[in-house]
Amino acid sequence: MQTTEQLIRNVVQQVLAELNGQPGSGAAHGDCGCHSKANACGCHRGRFGVFDNVDDAVAAATDAFEQLSERSLEERKRIIDHIRRISIEQCVELGTMEMEETKIGRLAHKIEKLKTLGEHTPGVEFMRSEVFSGDHGLAVIEHAPFGVIGVITPVTHSLPTITGNAVSMIASGNTLVVNPHPSGKRVAVEGVRRFNQAIYRDLGIDNLICLLAEPTLESADALFNHRGVKLICVTGGPAVAKAALQSSKRAIVAGPGNPPVVVDETADLDRAARCIIQGAAYDNNLLCIAEKEVFVVAEVFDRMLAAMEKAGAVRLSAREIDALTAKAITSVGEGQHKHDVAHKDFIGQDAAVLAAAIGKQISPQVELIFGETDEHNPFVPVEQMMPFLPFVRVKDVDEAIEKAKYYEHGFRHTSMIHSNNVRNMTRMGRAMDTTLFVKNGPCMASLGLGGEGYLSFSIATPTGEGVTTPLTFTRERRCSLIDDLRILGK
């Protein structure tokens, strides 16, 4: 039986062989009628979305878009059902591949994320039209696709983000070209190949989801500036968010966060502890919405920390926190641009690995370590993406909200409160002005996982579209009929 490492190696060799023109499992070429040139016969059929340059990828996605435009909504749904089915049925294999390649997060959650996105990403059922009916007839507003979307995905959820983006973007009639994070490219290649193969076999359209097999910053830049790309959607940290916001094209930007949690004196502390652990420990704190720092009012601070221990988290002493901070936080940049960041060796590692780095042995089953810090500890301002959570003691809820707002850095991404005082909830909701605001639940409840609402792993924060759906990737078109077809009489 092949190990996952061997499996990934074989897949990459097969892909590279096909890219180099050797026979692979591609379909027969020459009879598809597409307009662009890439294979010797003049089409991109049989590439199953995997490309080694931006021009070919965009040309193939453009052909695929034209073919998709001829198909019905029912066929779009069938296309999406293949992506969903593969994400769900093959979640163990693909999730394991992602874990082995990226080496961050938790295997069970890598697997679960694929299944969850396959099951819950908004599809064609989210498409709708609006109608104005009046004395002068009818105006129908429909939501049309943009065309080819340039997509950037993060290492924290490489294939899950592609899965979610592909479902929503194809649901609204678009095709996509993905520049994945280089450290998650192999699982991205494999997932995209499987999606395209299944779609091609059933519906005869290839390359609805195209991907650069060797992504670089240069290929991302070429994608941003390609005239065939009509819209950009990036999911990632500050650098890529800034690059997308500065691009000349319309961009939907799912940017970074540093979600704070407030716990006031009215909170159910045991429930708060369970929720904080569930959210902050998920995939070792890699979620952009995950709890990153906690402000607790003094009156219940010690009891809150006791509740965290009771719920299974392990508390570090002040000396242990100092030791962890020295190892897990580093600084980058020069002069006024110098700032703290999480050390990449610790991002997404297990709590037991973090603890071992400071000479502390804890069970591998422990999901989260935590401890008291002051607000100046770098774990408070930094988006740590590792399962250590700083708890800061504050005088009262006003100070908690004020500090939560300050350390969220104006990302307007996600914030949480545990409270039974609706005034405090309201005050914090207004002050934070975040895209997601969760009361008495873990972060993921805001994406319909244990709460109401729907799911996406691209939450557009600086550009304001929020939790993306198929409609996010559409342009409005209005169709007016003058003076007729209002059938309601005078």
By CB under 6 A, residue 156 contacts ligand NAD: yes
The residue among 45, 163, 51, 145 whose CA lies nearest residue 98 is 163
Among the listed residues 18, 320, 383, 465, the single contact to ligand NAD using CB under 6 A:
383
Among the listed residues 68, 240, 269, 341, the single contact to ligand NAD using CB under 6 A:
240
CA separation for the pair 484, 473 (Å, rounded): 31
By CB under 6 A, residue 235 contacts ligand NAD: yes
Contacts 24+ apart (CB under 8 A), 126-130: 126/168, 126/171, 126/454, 126/469, 126/470, 126/471, 127/73, 127/171, 127/172, 127/470, 127/471, 128/471
Residue with tokens 């290929």: 219
Provide the minimum distance between the beta carbon of 243 and ligand NAD in the complex, in angstroms, as a whole number.
Answer: 4
By CB under 6 A, residue 220 contacts ligand NAD: yes
Q: Which residues pair with 438 in a beta bridge?
A: 416
Provide the minimum distance between the beta carbon of 244 and ligand NAD in the complex, in angstroms, as a whole number.
Answer: 8
Among the listed residues 51, 195, 457, 473, the single contact to ligand NAD using CB under 6 A:
457
Applying CB under 6 A, what is the total number of residues that bind ligand NAD? 26
By CB under 6 A, residue 434 contacts ligand NAD: no
Nearer to ligand NAD among residue 60 and residue 459 (C-beta):
459
Residue with tokens 């600086």: 462
Nearer to ligand NAD among residue 284 and residue 424 (C-beta):
284
Nearer to ligand NAD among residue 118 and residue 180 (C-beta):
180
By CB under 6 A, residue 153 contacts ligand NAD: yes
Nearer to ligand NAD among residue 316 and residue 460 (C-beta):
460
Do the beta carbons of residue 470 and residue 169 sit within 8 Å? Answer: yes
By CB under 6 A, residue 459 contacts ligand NAD: yes
CA separation for the pair 290, 268 (Å, rounded): 20
Provide the minimum distance between the beta carbon of 128 and ligand NAD in the complex, in angstroms, as a whole number.
Answer: 23
Here's the x/- map for ligand NAD, 243-282, by CB under 6 A: it reads as x----------xxxx-------------------------
Nearer to ligand NAD among residue 155 and residue 263 (C-beta):
155
By CB under 6 A, residue 154 contacts ligand NAD: yes
Nearer to ligand NAD among residue 347 and residue 368 (C-beta):
347
Provide the minimum distance between the beta carbon of 221 and ligand NAD in the complex, in angstroms, as a whole number.
Answer: 6
Here's the x/- map for ligand NAD, 8-47, by CB under 6 A: it reads as ----------------------------------------
Residue with the shortest CB distance to ligand NAD:
236
Provide the minimum distance between the beta carbon of 383 and ligand NAD in the complex, in angstroms, as a whole number.
Answer: 6
How many angstroms separate the most distant Cα atoms in the chain? Answer: 82
Nearer to ligand NAD among residue 42 and residue 182 (C-beta):
182
Which region, judged by CB under 6 A, interacts with ligand NAD, from 229-237, 313-321, 424-432, 479-487? 229-237
Among the listed residues 95, 173, 236, 442, the single contact to ligand NAD using CB under 6 A:
236
By CB under 6 A, residue 288 contacts ligand NAD: yes
Provide the minimum distance between the beta carbon of 130 and ligand NAD in the complex, in angstroms, as a whole number.
Answer: 27
The residue among 327, 397, 338, 344 whose CA lies nearest residue 156 is 344
Q: Which residues contact 301 (CB under 8 A, 6 or more apart)?
A: 372, 391, 393
Here's the x/- map for ligand NAD, 172-211, by CB under 6 A: it reads as --------xxx-----------------------------
Among the listed residues 92, 131, 144, 217, the single contact to ligand NAD using CB under 6 A:
217
Query: Phi-psi region for residue 410, left (φ > 0), alpha (ψ -120 to 50) or beta?
Result: left
> What is the end-to-end Cα distance of the chain in Å, rounded?
75
Residues at the site binding ligand NAD, with contacts judged by CB under 6 A = 152-156, 180-182, 217, 220, 235-237, 239-240, 243, 254-257, 288, 383, 457-459, 461
